[in-house]
Amino acid sequence: MQVTYDHTDTIGKNIHRFWFRPPPTIDYIAGQFIELHLPHPNPDERGIKHWFTLSSSPTEELLFITTKFTPEKSSTFKLTLKDLRPGTKVTMVEPEGDFVLPNDANQALIFVAGGIGITPYRSMIKWLQDTQQKRAIQLLYAVNDLDQAVFLDLFKEYGVDLTTIVKQPPADYVGETGSLDAKRILGLIGELNNKLVYVSGPEPMVEQFNDDLQALGVPPSQLKTDFFPNYTSI
């Protein structure tokens, strides 16, 4: 499908949202991802196509993706994204993916996010809020710096049970600090019971949590994962 680039805004340190106007026929489920094509001269080995979760909700008029920049090591793709001019038409492959909410509205949910892995949860929670559905959600959100924790207002407004774990906290920070790991996740969850645990973030983190949570007794049927390649850490 063709979408029209609209505008960009900055919501955290090196974290930007890119907004696009979709065709009227757009149809997606909160949490799904797209493939964005940005042909450009002399692309590096990371190429002209990237996957991004739609962090917008299907209830919103525009689509947006949220991404983190590593300014000194940006791919040519990200540099092209940053230079888009409003009104430019670009190709997005139709939304897909099953990292979405379960149909059962009574299912207790644990959302674990590492850094930019927060994007699918923003979409799901905004969709729940806009469609007036109340679900029990505990969100464990690991970030490097406090100014990389995004969408917090929405999460608080919706009533998510939110724990932010800050790796490099300011000196006066009150709250959870350090790194998140599987043991700590289980400690923060309390009784697992039949809770469904979603994990989203950089590929190495998601793989590690997936293996370690299973080793600690979480059945694969209670785990859902979504990993973002090319990011090595949160």
Ligand X SMILES: Cc1cc2nc3c(=O)[nH]c(=O)nc-3n(C[C@H](O)[C@H](O)[C@H](O)COP(=O)(O)OP(=O)(O)OC[C@H]3O[C@@H](n4cnc5c(N)ncnc54)[C@H](O)[C@@H]3O)c2cc1C
Binding mask 7-36 for ligand X (x = CB under 6 A): --------------------------x---
Tokens for 157, please give them: 């407004």
Task: Return the residue of 127, 151, 198, 228 that touches ligand X, per CB under 6 A.
Answer: 228
The reply to whether 111 sits near ligand X by the rule CB under 6 A is no
Cβ proximity to ligand X, 67 vs 186, nearer residue = 67
The reply to whether 123 sits near ligand X by the rule CB under 6 A is no
Q: Distances from the Cα of 6 to the Cαs of 3, 87, 225, in angstroms?
A: 9, 6, 31
φ/ψ of 80, rounded to 5, equals -70, -40
Nearest approach, Cβ of residue 226 and ligand X (Å): 6
Taking the alpha carbons of 171, 121, 93, 97 in that order, is the dihedral positive or negative? positive
Tokens for 16, please give them: 């930007």
The reply to whether 153 sits near ligand X by the rule CB under 6 A is no
CA dihedral 52, 94, 103, 113 (to 10 degrees): 0
In the window 61-80, what residues touch ligand X (CB under 6 A)? Answer: 65-70, 73-75, 77-78
Residue type (1 letter), 162: L
User: Can you give the binding site for ligand X, defined by CB under 6 A?
Assistant: 33, 45-46, 50-53, 65-70, 73-75, 77-78, 116, 119, 228-231
